[in-house]
């Protein structure tokens, strides 16, 4: 009989116990809102499609990822989550036209550190319960410069979240959830069985983008200061985005006041999919 894993409680407890979910200016409140979870079946055919058809051979299936820490374990579930970016940071970023607002950049650096603490916290909790567990996205150096795909991780939080029923891609490349695209995502693969989430969009990976679903919008194309977003997700110029962000990083300390990664995220704010599913 399978052990019952209450993944939601595990993650929520870790989130609640973390004292670092705040800005340096404490009056601004929390960086990231409560995590929302989805569960993917580790054997979902999408994972092999990513490897064999859509991304590349370097890409890990859940089984390959879990074998990195336990070569006898059988991957059964992938716990995926998103945490919405706080309203304060979204609203500040929505006013920007060239670079990230300070609270947005702060979350890119320190909110992602919190997210990684949650990833490792979930690994620890599951291992304490006797299960194998791995957060593949934070395995060091799990990133590849692929000939076709450009800079690409061996494990994509967005693709995983799509399989776990949390949302679909927009033409910007962002994962649009019920609470929008302005989120940070995480995931952990485990051999524990957890009932998979039924995807409300079935197998349509672009169902919640107004452009792909209804032929309307394209606001993210206009918002991008690097002209990196095209009419379809396949036309996205990832290099243009990356170079633009690299340019900001060089001046990051001077612009923002700390050493870190700052992002931009203009394509995720002042757009109809910012904090909701715009097709709902």
Question: Can you give the binding site for ligand SF4, defined by CB under 6 A?
Answer: 170-172, 209-211, 217-220, 223-226, 228-229, 241, 244, 264-267, 271-273, 278
Quick one: CA dihedral 124, 198, 143, 30, positive or negative? negative
- Give whichever of 22 and 266 is closer to ligand B12, judged by the CB atom: 266
Helix (H) or strand (E) holding 184: strand 183-190
Residue 139 beta carbon to ligand SF4: minimum distance, rounded to whole angstroms: 24
Comparing CB distances to ligand SF4, the nearer of 165 and 265 is 265
Min. distance of Cβ 130 from ligand B12 in angstroms? 27
Describe the strand order of the beta sheet including 77-84 as a list of residue ranges.
36-41, 77-84, 183-190, 133-134
Of 45, 61, 42, give the one whose Cα is nearest residue 156: 61
What single DSSP character describes residue 3?
Answer: P
Interaction partner, residue 92 (ligand SF4, ligand B12, none; CB < 5-8 Å by kind): none
Six-digit token string for 227: 């002209």
Count of C-beta atoms within a 10 Å radius of residue 70: 15
Q: Tell the smallest beta-carbon distance from residue 269 to ligand SF4 (Å).
A: 9
Residues in a beta bridge with 190? 77, 133
Which residue's Cβ has the minimum distance to ligand B12?
Answer: 263
Give the residues lining the site for ligand B12 (CB under 6 A): 54-55, 100, 108, 112, 115, 137, 149-153, 155-158, 169, 172-175, 181, 183-185, 205, 233-234, 236, 238, 241-242, 245, 263-265, 267-268
CB of 146 to ligand SF4, least distance (A): 19
């Amino acid at each position: 009989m399978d052990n019952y894993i209450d993944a939601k409680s595990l993650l929520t407890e870790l989130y609640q116990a973390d004292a670092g979910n705040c800005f340096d200016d404490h009056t601004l409140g929390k960086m990231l809102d409560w995590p929302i979870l989805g569960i993917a079946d580790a054997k979902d055919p999408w994972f092999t499609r990513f490897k064999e058809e859509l991304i590349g051979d370097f890409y890990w299936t859940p089984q390959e990822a879990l074998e990195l820490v336990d070569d006898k374990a059988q991957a059964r579930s992938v716990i995926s989550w998103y945490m919405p970016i706080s309203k304060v940071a979204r609203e500040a970023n929505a006013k920007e036209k060239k670079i990230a607002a300070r609270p947005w950049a702060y979350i890119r650096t320190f909110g992602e550190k919190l997210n990684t603490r949650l990833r490792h916290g979930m690994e620890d909790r599951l291992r304490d319960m006797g299960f194998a567990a791995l957060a593949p996205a934070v395995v060091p150096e799990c990133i590849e410069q692929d000939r076709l795909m450009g800079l690409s991780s061996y494990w994509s939080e967005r693709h995983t979240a799509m399989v776990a029923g949390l949302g679909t891609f927009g033409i910007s490349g962002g994962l649009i959830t019920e609470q929008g695209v302005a989120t940070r995502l995480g995931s952990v693969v485990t051999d524990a069985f957890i009932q998979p989430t039924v995807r409300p969009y079935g197998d349509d990976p672009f169902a919640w983008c107004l452009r792909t679903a209804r032929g309307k919008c394209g606001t993210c194309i206009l918002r991008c200061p690097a002209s990196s977003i095209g009419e379809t997700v396949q036309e996205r110029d990832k290099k243009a985005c990356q170079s633009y962000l690299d340019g900001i990083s060089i001046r990051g300390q001077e612009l923002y006041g700390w050493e870190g990664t700052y992002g931009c995220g203009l394509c995720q704010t002042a757009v109809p999919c910012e904090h909701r599913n715009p097709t709902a």
